[in-house]
A and B are shown apart, each in its own frame.
Chain A
Amino acid sequence: MRARVFVTLKPSVFDPQGRTIAEALHSLGYGGVEDVRQGKYFELDLATTESAQAKALAAEVADRLLANPVIESYRIEVDQ
């Protein structure tokens, strides 16, 4: 089973990379893109076929390593 983990900076944390990308898009004429937040995306191939187990395992590794709770939060999706 595959789990997808999306790690992003918390809303309260300034994202200098996202800001620079947004400014680049504005200079390309994409004024409709109001802001950009850059994050990280992980695909985990898991041995389990149980979606509850997959979610729990993905959350455990996200808490332990993939995200730093001081600056980041994460969201998990698993294949049905």
Chain B
Amino acid sequence: MKFAVIVFPGSNCDQDAYHAARHVLGQSAEYIWHKDIDLKGADVVILPGGFAHGDYLRTGAMARFSPIMREVEAFARRGGPVLGICNGFQVLLEAGLLPGAMLRNRGLKFRCEHVHIRVEQTDTPFTALCRTGQVLRIPIAHGEGNYFADPDVIAGLETNRQIVFRYTTPTGELADEANPNGSAAAIAGLCNEARNVVGLMPHPERACEPILGSGDGMVMFESVVHSLKTGALVARA
């Protein structure tokens, strides 16, 4: 399987994502510069964390107009698996590939710590090997991760089972103090209606080896490889 890691000016988790795919998972991986117009045959696209284009104006607002995003949108429309991590999630929101927007964290602080997220849906390419209700310990690092959408949009996300991850306590209980940023419905991650595009604020690529304090993020990378191998996903770049 070939992972494409999109690199925007200001991306800073691209090497972590590349390392997880290439060295930990042992798959092929390639960096794709944001001005490129070709995904070079990738099977999976990762929009990594960081501060694309400095996050000037709004997080992810400029990155949406980078030339490679037209290809990413076409790949997503064909059913290709796309994972947006942190700033990559914000880019997916600005690009309209996922619904909603991010506000400043409720407490206004940049939060950098391990949190617990509960897997709500296992029929996405990035959670196929998870159990429903499984709790993952994964770090966050963001100032604008306070997910917002109108109440009717949130209701639609619930109905369509698009909320993939929620912030919970270590035992998987919803609690206000377990929600690090004030996100509506404790949303840590979402998928689109077709379920092939997933975005989340926590950083699974920073939790892929025990030496990093947690290996819980690896299951998302393993899941997409599994999904592609079993033919659950057929799209190609």
Q: Do A and B bind each other?
A: yes
Binding site for B on A (CB under 8 A): 9, 12-14, 16-17, 20, 65-66, 68, 70-71
A71 touches B103 (CB 8 A): yes
Q: Inside 8 A of B58's CB, which chain A residues have their CB?
A: 68
Contacts of B150 in A (CB 8 A): 12, 70
- CB < 8 Å A-B pair total: 35
- The total of chain B residues at the interface (CB under 8 A) is 20
Q: In the complex, what's the smallest C-beta–C-beta distance from A27 to chain B, in angstroms?
A: 16
Residue contact A16 to B101, C-beta cutoff 8 Å: no
When each residue 157-200 of chain B gets 1 if its CB lies under 8 Å from chain A and 0 otherwise, what string results? 00000000000000000000000001000000000000000000
- Interface residues of B: mostly helix, strand, loop or mixed? loop
| B94 lies within 8 A of A68 (CB) | yes
Contact with A along B56-70 (1 / 0, CB 8 A): 011001000100000
Q: State the CA gap A14–B93 with chains docked (Å).
A: 19
For A20, list chain B residues within 8 Å (CB): 108
Point out the residues of chain B lying under 8 angstroms from A12, CB to CB.
150
Asked if B148 is an interface residue, CB under 8 A from chain A, the answer is yes
B108 touches A66 (CB 8 A): no
Contacts of B100 in A (CB 8 A): 70
Which residue of chain A is the closest to B65 with respect to CB atoms?
Answer: A65
